[in-house]
Structure 1
Amino acid sequence: MKEYKFKINGNAYKVAVESVQDGIAAVSVNGTPYKVEIENDLGGPKPVKPVQVAPATYQATPQAAPVKIASAPPAGGSETQLRSPLPGTVLELRVKEGDTVKEGQTVMILEAMKMENNIDANKSGVVKSIVKRAGDSVMEGDVLITIG
């Protein structure tokens, strides 16, 4: 049995490969057993030369990518609706109704796939309404805030 320790996105995993037979590997990850199908099995176990891997010398910190905000003016006005670019959960509101905002100003923080994404105003104006509040789940395309 071979044991490996992996660190993925800051989470530690202990992986034990118990056996490999007929393209199926019996492994356990943090004590939970799994049967794993191996693609491109070349007909059975082959001797493998051990590979030496140097330890990482840095810790990567994920950075949120800039998010383009879809907007659509509602019928009959010069208001703009900020819409969610992806599904997630509203973490923080940085404005309130009646606040004046400038184009590019962060108005909300949206958590999606364990990353915080800035939701920025796509035009200058006054916050007319806030549709989603902290803790609300949103789907892609949901209206978040209306700016007039």
Structure 2
Amino acid sequence: MKEYRYKINGNLYKVAVGDVEENHVRVEVNGTAYVVELEKKKSPRIKPVLRTASTSPAAPPPAISRPAPIGGKSGVKSPLPGVILEIKVKEGDVVKRGQTLVVLEAMKMENDIKADRDGKVTAVKVSKGESILEGTDLVIIE
């Protein structure tokens, strides 16, 4: 497995790239595993393109599949990428719907991530100062 460190918009990401099987690659970003689907290569077609300073080719983002929830438990996911500023709960805490679980800094703003249901916290999947991606499990509630 090859490991890389990327700094994107001031956030550090630790990326480990694993095995490639056909057009799927196993990737781990800050400890969260993903399967990335690579774009299939098409037969090349040569077509002249007149480029100006304002036009540049845009690469399509890779398709990412996230791990499925565990059993009857499900995670409260991050709605956007950012940095964890504060964790307001711990394992074993009983939470109510609407209670703030985590404070996430995204786009220079603090965002309260709240519980979507009543339940008991069975796992806290992030740590303070960690850079996370959209869709990352933050807290597991049973």
TM-score by length of 1: 0.49
The total of aligned residue pairs comes to 77
The structure number with the bigger radius of gyration is 1
Runs of 4+ in 1 over 3 A off after TM superposition: none
2:136 matched residue in structure 1: 142
Which whole-Å deviations, capped at 9, do the CAs of 1:23-68 have from their partners, x for residues lacking one?
A: xxxxxxxxxxxxxx9xxxxxxxxxxxxxxxxxxxxxxxxxxxxxxx
**1:133 is aligned to 2:104:** no
Query: Within 5 A, what are the aligned runs for 1:96-115?
Result: 96-115=90-109
RMSD: 1.8
Q: Using the TM superposition, give the Cα deviation of residue 76 of structure 1 relative to its aligned residue in structure 2, in angstroms.
A: 2.5
Shift of 1:73: 7.3
Match of 1:94 among 88, 111, 134: 88
- In structure 2, the CA distance between the partners of 1:73 and 1:125, relative to structure 1 (3 Å rule), is farther
Contact 1:109–1:117 (8 Å) recurs in 2: yes
Query: Aligned equivalents of 1:73 and 1:103: distance in 2?
Result: 22
Identify unmatched segments of 5+ residues in structure 1. Answer: 1-36, 38-71
69, 75, 87: which one pairs with 1:74?
A: 69
Higher RCO, Cα 8 Å, sep 6+: 2
**Residues in 1 aligned to 2:141 and 2:127: alpha-carbon distance in whole angstroms:** 16
Cα offset for 1:74?
1.8
Name the counterpart of 2:116. 122
Counterpart-to-counterpart distance in 2, 1:134 and 1:87: 14
Alpha-carbon contact 1:73-1:81 (below 8 Å) kept: no
The whole-number CA distance in structure 2 between the counterparts of 1:100 and 1:141 is 23
Identity %: 49
Q: Could you tell me how far 1:133 is from its partner in structure 2?
A: 1.0
